[in-house]
Amino acid sequence: MAKFEPVLTKNFGIEGIRTLDVYRKQGGYKTAEKVIKEQKPEEVVEVVKASGLRGRGGAGFPAGLKWSFLPPDREVTYFCVNADESEPGTFCNRVLMEEDPHQLLEGILIAGFATKTTTAFIYMRVEFHEQFHILQKAVDEAYAAGYFGKNVFGSDYSIDCYIHRGAGAYVCGEETGLIESLEGKRGWPRIKPPFPAIEGAFKRPTVVNNVETLCCVPHIFERGVDWFRGIGTENSKGPKLYTVSGPVNRPGCFEAALGLTARDLIFGDDHGQGMRDGKKVKGCIPGGLSVGVLTEAELDCHLCFDDVRNYGLLGLGTAGAIVIPDDADIRQVLKNIARFYSHESCGQCTQCREGTNWMYKIAARIAAGAGRISDLDLLVDITTNMGMMPGLSICGLPDGAAFPIRTIVQKFRSEFEEHIRNQKPGVVEQVIRKTNPAAYELPILGQRAVSV
Amino acid sequence: MAWQALDRTKPVFDKDAPPVLSEALRAKIRSFFPRYETQRAALLPALHVVQDALGHVSHKAMAEIAEVLEIPPSAVLDTLSFYTHYWDHERGSKVVVACRSLSCQLVGAEKVLDACKAELGIDEHGTTEDGKYSLVTEECLAACDHGPCLLINEKLHKCVTPEEVARILKDPKNAEIDPPRSNLFDGPAAAAPAPAIEAVGKTSDIQEMRES
């Protein structure tokens, strides 16, 4: 395979690339101009479909196919750019927006043209303060240059672009949750169907795409579909930004063709450059917290849309790897994961609202040194009975909670069992009596709680 | 957050007190209307503007926002209570947000949080007596490559060690950032701003609003 040439990150580090002038000198907005002047929206959709571009936000849904679901006779179309990057371990969107904001805007222009968008909203999480100012400045410049607004490039295509800031809710990264939040309501995901393409924001056809997906779009038109299809594996085409964090020598965001192995991401000279302070890898969560965990032996997993499923993971996710070092207490890792989901569950579906909290309580008790072997089975049992995959929930958040907890308990079970066996006798009873004395007044619980 | 019961026998705010939202703030909120199809959609931006100007969104402010947006006050409370970013009670002038997610925890976020607690003498969700700092923890700040990280108002402090915490918190400029600011606080400059918005000021930033 030819040497991979980065495109998404090619402008990174160029002096003043955040300004329109410098971006234009690098050839920016030429592709958008060409596409809008010379092609029809339907052709643009077909090109993106042919390229095999799959959404980079986590689910991996083909972007062109998503756009083709829009009803043909629509008058108003909204475009939501998902910049609510809240998945732990993921920060590639942040890097894209702060290093090269105009690349995103050019992607919005082309994607907006393809979907006949009237207004594009960039839904950005509120913790991105600096990135917000950078991007807003870029939007202002683009407006002043006539790239947004009425009659873009002298055509009859008009598009508005606004930044809408979120307010700190993980679930607003789910596309219908995002739409609800955009409408000024709680970020409660909607029951589908109707899908956003038919009835989304303000009951109009709406497309929701991730920042990175849109950043890929200009390059597809600049370099051609064949170039794009030549990168990556069979079902996963194109470049991808991989991020790695945790105690590695060089945490950061690196561009590579889809299909990089987790081992290469952590130890590769171009990527993470190995572990800090001579630590070893215990495990790795390769795609944002929700996908599940790989053990050290499984690090040769290819991070593309298909191979990860062979290792019991949810999917590629956002390709944000978190490396767990060998000196980390696996019980604390489990507790942290469980707390995240219990905090971020929106509370609509009962089994997610209660289940995530339940798992957190169990994980916290195990971490406090009062676990039971049966707790491990119970955790696995809970994870199989919540979420979209058994068809129980509105959105995918409980699946995102189920996979990391299930895989970490299953793959590190011996370690958990060892911790539990080494607990002091009677500690379970003490902890339960302290935290919930009423449990021991109920005879049935009193009997169950003593067996470790 | 624990459930808080309101005493329904007493009004939650004084209806006769002078309004807390200035005319400039109301004009700012109205300037968001053309962006969206419904006025309610301007609620999140409105809450951001009000919280930035007043520090927190009191019940009185909520009722006044509802008045501007022409929606029931309960709708404002309903939305506000869902999001962790909004404060319905007094907070310190600087909010220290410590990231507690997995990436940061694996490189020592807990020690940083403990150092913050010790330095400020408050617990999570607490506010110092002089009203200068509030301390909260939040899930991933999407700066995992710089973990452990602290966010003080707008400024992100990267790769913080527990020893650095005292110095960072003593620095009076620890919340200032210097990005290329937009001419308009929150909107496209070219989209012909209504005259009412111009009255808020050309750079129309939070600070300017406070000064006026």
Q: Looking at the domain assignment, is residue B189 inside a domain? A: no
Residues A183 and A271 in one domain: no
Task: Report the pLDDT value the prediction gives residue A426, as an integer from 0 to 100.
Answer: 83
Which of the listed residues A304, A325, A346 is the one where a domain comes to its end? A325
- Following DSSP, what letter does each residue of A104-162 receive, concatenated? HHHHHHHHHHHTT-SEEEEEE-TT-HHHHHHHHHHHHHHHHTTSSBSSGGGSS--BEEE
Residues B141 and B127 in one domain: yes
Q: Looking at the domain assignment, is residue A9 inside a domain? A: no
Whether residue B207 has pLDDT greater than 90: no
**What CATH number did the domain enclosing B29 receive?**
1.10.10.1590
Task: Report the pLDDT value the prediction gives residue A326, as an integer from 0 to 100.
Answer: 94
3-state secondary structure of A358: helix
Contacts with B190 from chain A: Cβ below 8 Å: 140, 143-144, 148-149
Q: Looking at the domain assignment, is residue A7 inside a domain? A: no
Q: Looking at the domain assignment, is residue A252 inside a domain? A: yes
Residues 18-47 of B with CB under 8 A from A: 35-38, 40-45, 47
Whether residue B177 has pLDDT greater than 50: yes
Instruction: State the total domains in chain A.
Output: 3
Helices (H), A388-449: 397-411, 413-421, 427-435, 443-448
Which of the listed residues B90, B124, B144 is the one where a domain comes to its end? B90
Q: Which position has the token pair 């058994």?
A: A390
Does residue B118 sit at the A interface (CB-CB below 8 Å)? no
Q: Looking at the domain assignment, is residue B204 inside a domain? A: no
Residues A301 and A427 in one domain: no
Query: What is the domain range of residue B146?
Result: 94-169
Task: Report the pLDDT value the prediction gives residue A55, as an integer from 0 to 100.
Answer: 92
**What CATH number did the domain enclosing A118 receive?**
3.40.50.11540
Residue B193 to chain A, least CA–CA distance (Å): 12
Residues B46 and B34 in one domain: yes
Contacts with B106 from chain A: Cβ below 8 Å: 246-247, 322-325, 328, 333
Nearest Cα neighbor of B143 from A415, A19, A252 is A252
**Minimal Cβ distance to A247: which of B45, B101, B107:** B107
**What CATH number did the domain enclosing B143 receive?**
3.40.30.10
Query: Bridge-partner residues for B98, per DSSP?
Result: B137, B150
Could you list the pLDDT tens digit for every one of the 452 residues in chain A?
Answer: 457 888 999 998 888 899 999 999 999 899 999 999 999 999 999 999 999 999 998 888 999 999 999 999 999 999 999 999 999 999 999 999 999 999 999 999 999 999 999 999 999 999 999 999 999 999 999 999 999 999 999 899 999 999 999 998 999 999 999 999 999 999 999 998 899 999 999 999 999 999 999 999 999 999 999 999 999 888 899 999 999 999 999 999 999 999 999 999 999 998 999 999 999 999 999 988 999 999 999 999 999 998 999 999 998 989 999 999 999 999 999 999 999 999 999 999 999 999 999 999 999 999 988 899 999 999 999 999 888 888 889 999 999 999 999 999 999 999 999 999 998 888 888 887 887 777 666 655 555 544 44
**What CATH number did the domain enclosing A421 receive?**
1.20.1440.230
Query: Are A184 and B38 inside 8 Å of each other by CB?
Result: yes
Residues A222 and A245 in one domain: no
**What is the ipTM for the molecules in this complex?**
0.90
Residues A79 and A220 in one domain: yes
The answer to whether A398 and A366 are in contact (CB under 8 A) is no
Q: Looking at the domain assignment, is residue A3 inside a domain? A: no
Q: Looking at the domain assignment, is residue B50 inside a domain? A: yes
**What CATH number did the domain enclosing A250 receive?**
3.10.20.600
Residues B155 and B98 in one domain: yes
Whether residue B5 has pLDDT greater than 90: no
CB pairs under 8 A between A and B: 189
E strands present in A179-289 = 206-210, 239-245, 252-257, 260-261, 281-285
Residues A143 and A176 in one domain: yes
Q: Looking at the domain assignment, is residue A431 inside a domain? A: yes
Q: Looking at the domain assignment, is residue A93 inside a domain? A: yes
Q: Looking at the domain assignment, is residue A285 inside a domain? A: yes
Query: Are A186 and B102 inside 8 Å of each other by CB?
Result: no
Residues B21 and B84 in one domain: yes
Which of the listed residues A196, A229, A262 is the one where a domain comes to its end? A229
Residues A158 and A251 in one domain: no
**Minimal Cβ distance to A88: which of B78, B103, B190:** B103
Q: Looking at the domain assignment, is residue B177 inside a domain? A: no
Residues A213 and A79 in one domain: yes
Task: Report in angstroms the alpha-carbon separations of A107 from A43, A101, A220, B90.
Answer: 16, 10, 10, 41
Task: Report the pLDDT value the prediction gives residue B10, as an integer from 0 to 100.
Answer: 83
Per the structure block, which two tokens stand in for B160? 């913080």
Contacts with B42 from chain A: Cβ below 8 Å: 184
State whether the Cα torsion A218-A221-A222-A224 is positive or negative: positive
Residues A72 and A191 in one domain: yes
Residues A42 and A148 in one domain: yes
Q: Cis before residue B148, ω within 30 degrees of 0?
A: yes
Q: Looking at the domain assignment, is residue B135 inside a domain? A: yes
Strands B150-152, B94-99: pairing is antiparallel
Residues A364 and A346 in one domain: yes
Q: Looking at the domain assignment, is residue A430 inside a domain? A: yes
**What is the spatial distance between Cα A402 and Cα A337, in angstroms, rounded to a whole number?**
10
Which of the listed residues B90, B109, B144 is the one where a domain comes to its end? B90
**What is the spatial distance between Cα A110 and Cα A233, in angstroms, rounded to a whole number?**
25
Residues B32 and B76 in one domain: yes
Residues A29 and A142 in one domain: yes
Q: What is the Cα gyration radius of chain B?
A: 19
Query: Are A169 and B190 inside 8 Å of each other by CB?
Result: no
Whether residue B200 has pLDDT greater than 50: no
Instruction: State the total domains in chain B.
Output: 2
**Minimal Cβ distance to A337: which of B102, B145, B181:** B102
Number of Cβ within 10 Å of residue A224's Cβ equals: 13
What mean pLDDT, rounded, does chain B reach?
Answer: 83
Residues A419 and A308 in one domain: no
Q: Output A375 or B212, whichever has higher pLDDT.
A: A375
Task: Report the pLDDT value the prediction gives residue B34, as an integer from 0 to 100.
Answer: 92
Does residue B130 sit at the A interface (CB-CB below 8 Å)? no
Query: What is the domain range of residue A276?
Result: 239-325
**What is the spatial distance between Cα B201 and Cα B141, in angstroms, rounded to a whole number?**
31
Element (H, E) at A46: helix A41-51
Compare all CA atoms of chain B with the CA of A120 and give the residue at the minimum distance.
B35
Query: Bridge-partner residues for A1, per DSSP?
Result: none
Helices (H), B81-173: 102-106, 109-120, 165-170
The answer to whether B101 and B113 are in contact (CB under 8 A) is no
Residues B105 and B164 in one domain: yes
> Sorting pLDDT into bands at 50, 70 and 90, what band is B42?
very high
**What is the spatial distance between Cα A161 and Cα A118, in angstroms, rounded to a whole number?**
9
